[in-house]
Chains A and B, each alone.
Chain A
Amino acid sequence: MSPELTQYLLSGITIGAIYALVALGFSIIFNASHVINFAQGEFVMIGGMASAAFFDAGLPLPVAIVLSIGVATLVGLLLEKLAVEPARDASVITLIIITIGASILLRGLATLVWDKKIHRLPAFSGEAPIVIGSTAGGATLLPQVLWVLGVSAAAVALLTWFFRRTLTGKAILAVSHNRLAARLMGISVRRVLAVSFGLSAALGALAGALIAPISFTAWDVGVMLGLKGFAAAILGGLGSSAGAVLGGLALGLIESLGAGYLSSAYKDVFAFLIIIAALVFLPNGLLGRRAAERV
């Protein structure tokens, strides 16, 4: 393998791991409500910005990250309580539009609470890159990427366990399949929605804190991260945790190989072309549930 190809693959994994982590957050809320939460990118932004702010205030890094996850979870719960719950009988499209509005509000608030500057967070285990191959022509990977990959894998395992083995997780899936039936069985739809928003906000914030050492963080990073994460979730199959990770990595690899071998100016075009193709031929994504339509 040429050193360039190795580097393109490692670059793709770096980008893809970030998309995967963001995409995971989309699947939780989608599972609970069939709503695409377009404020998911803002949860990621809050995680990064709050971590940076707490860290700059002198707190140790792990404490700063835990606190930022707490802040984001609170924001997620408030968003559900104040914006989504009052409109819970509205159509899915209305709820999606509400999340778009919320994302704009959260971005604005972030510029007021923090500032409009770009912030950095130190890497968890040093900045020295891991060199693969000979030092002269070798390809490199940042240790932080391994953190992102590891946390993504752990998140997939935990989410799978949560949805399959716990009562709350099963309740979320039940509400997603048939809200009325779930309610008749005594499941509180309100509680399920609150849990799913809180959980995806927490996961988004964790993603934000993990990504910040690689790509910095600012009040507006949520827009593009949310969009790419959404694309990854669609590619992998909405609602599937493993699919989100697979979709993210695939998107990252397509982008970096496209930039390397074709043209960096059009790398996003390739990525979105492949997503459109995937949607046409695999409408449920790579690992999505095959919807069983009742006739």
Chain B
Amino acid sequence: MFLRTLVAAAMALALSPLAEAQPIRIGAFLSVTGPAAFLGDPEQKTLELYVEKLNAAGGVLGRKLELVAYDSAGDAEKARGYVKRLIEQDKVDVLVGGSTTGETMAAVPLAEAAGMPFISLAGAVVIIEPVKKWVFKTPHTDRMACEKVFADMRARGATKAALISGAGGFDRSMRAECLKVAGAQGVQIVADETYGAGDTDMTAQLAKIKGTPGVQAVLNAGFGQGPAIVTKNYRQLGIGVPLYQSHGVASKQYVSLAGDAAEGVRLPAAALLVAETLPDADPQKKVVTGYKRDYESRFKQEVSTFGGHAYDGLMLAVEAMKRAGSADKAKVRDALEATRGYMGTAGVVNMSAQDHMGLDLTAFRMLEVRKGDWTLVK
């Protein structure tokens, strides 16, 4: 009896204000303003929303969560400065952020040196390849997007493809990955054109592709207004073969910008975009509809996959802390690496010592624009 009281008292003590006074600190550095604001803005909102929700539900391990977030404005140098501050002054327990690959790579050496679990929200393969002990990431890679697109081309009988890409970091990285994996996917790249940042018309490049013999499909790697202009020019020139876009334009904005020209365009994207149309049996449906509802009812704007990456990043960290039973950095890192079967907005995550992203091709859905909306390609 006495022992039981003692244990109860000890437990009460553990959950008492002493523990409450020590919140778990989530450090974030995101491109909330600047050219990559369309990434950082929904990411920041998502982190704020779910830290609030988790705290309302009693926090994690009996401790409150505290979000310490900085705006690195798409600037790798700023990101480095803020990450230093997050590690040394704010003494955060885990890093979530790096909206762009540049910002992420600037933070990697700091996180590695400090032994800080770091979940990146950026796309490129270089973040997790080669594997870095403390670095994880939630979004799909551009290589997976290439593989998904090439597989779909093959399924439609196309083996000769043309590539058109922009001059941005995302565009160039995806172009390089696509060129690398095309051969293994049984697709031959017969034309490889690019356009500059801020270009106003791409009919010259597309006319060249149109004049290249044997092109059976075209893939446009890029985001922003470039792909929308490419889509309009593509229809203007009356090119008949299928057009694919990348996951970089997987937003309603692309469809509304390109208008009728977007009809029939296919692109790989996360299930979040088609949350409502997923079959009920789909194991991902609950997660994506839940996140979509939470985000849209709170911020009165459409969800983007980018905000979803932040959701996955935060939840992976929280799950890892729960499994580790503490916020100890080394234990959280080990628990992150042992993540199996976590269902997020990006897909099912199975991490391992060799794979710090844990997604496979099933995470991408092939979508087609029909009547101004996304439809799942069966």
Contact = CB atoms under 8 A, between A and B. Distances in A.
Contacts of A268: 196
A31 to B, nearest CB: 26
Interface stretch (B84-92, B131-139, B224-232, B312-320): B224-232
A139 interface: yes
Interface string B38-73: 100100000000000000000000000000000000
A209 B35 CA distance: 22
B200 A264 contact: no
A260 B225 contact: no
A255 B202 CA distance: 11
A226 to B, nearest CB: 10
Interface residues of B, number: 34
B253 A118 contact: yes
B255 to A, nearest CB: 11
B37 interface: yes
Given A117-B253, A224-B197, A264-B193, A215 B204 contact: no
B253 A218 contact: no
Interface stretch (B1-9, B205-213, B342-350): B205-213
Contacts of A12: 204
Interface in A104-148: 111, 116-118, 120, 127, 129, 135, 139-140, 142
A139 B207 contact: yes
Nearest to B198: A224
B198 A120 contact: no
B352 interface: no
Contact of A118 (B200, B236, B257): B257
B201 interface: yes
B237 interface: yes
Contact of A255 (B204, B208, B256): B204
Nearest to A252: B201
Contact of B207 (A8, A129, A265): A8
Contacts, number: 100
B228 A129 contact: no
Interface in B212-227: 224-225
A211 B199 CA distance: 12
Contact of A4 (B195, B199, B208): B208
B196 A215 contact: no
The main secondary structure of chain B at its interface with chain A is: helix
A225 interface: yes
B204 A256 contact: yes
A150 B59 CA distance: 64
Contacts of A37: none
B185 interface: no
Contacts of A220: 35
Contact of A265 (B194, B211, B257, B260): B194
Interface in A179-238: 211, 214-216, 218, 220-221, 223-225, 228
Nearest to A140: B236
A135 B199 CA distance: 27
Choose among A10, A12, A259, A260 the residue with the greatest number of B CB atoms under 10 Å from its CB: A259
A11 interface: yes
B201 A11 contact: yes
A145 to B, nearest CB: 9
Given A215-B229, A223-B198, A259-B193, A8 B257 contact: no
Contacts of B208: 4, 259-260, 264
Contact of A11 (B41, B203, B232): B203
A140 B205 contact: no
A216 B236 contact: no
A260 B206 CA distance: 9
A209 to B, nearest CB: 14
Interface in B165-191: none
A176 interface: no
B238 interface: yes
A239 B348 CA distance: 62
A256 B37 CA distance: 31
A14 interface: yes
A140 B239 CA distance: 12
A14 B203 contact: yes
A59 B196 CA distance: 33
A211 B197 CA distance: 16
Contact of B198 (A10, A225, A259, A260): A225
B198 A221 contact: yes
B207 A215 contact: no
A18 interface: yes
Contacts of A139: 207
A15 to B, nearest CB: 5
Interface string A3-35: 110011011101100100000000000000000
Contact of B257 (A3, A211, A216): A216
Interface string B238-252: 100000000000000
Nearest to B203: A11
Contacts of B205: 259-260, 264
A225 B225 CA distance: 14
A267 interface: yes
B194 to A, nearest CB: 5
11 contacts: A3-B207, A4-B211, A7-B207, A11-B203, A135-B238, A142-B236, A225-B198, A259-B205, A260-B205, A264-B194, A268-B196
Interface of B: 33, 35, 37-38, 41, 193-201, 203-205, 207-208, 210-211, 224-225, 228-229, 232, 236-238, 253, 256-257, 259-260
Given A15-B201, A127-B232, A267-B204, 16 more contacts: A7-B207, A7-B237, A8-B204, A11-B201, A14-B200, A18-B201, A118-B224, A120-B256, A135-B238, A214-B200, A215-B200, A224-B198, A256-B204, A259-B195, A260-B205, A267-B196
Q: Rank and list the top 4 A-B pairs by shortest CB-CB distance, nearest first.
A: A224-B198, A215-B200, A7-B207, A256-B204
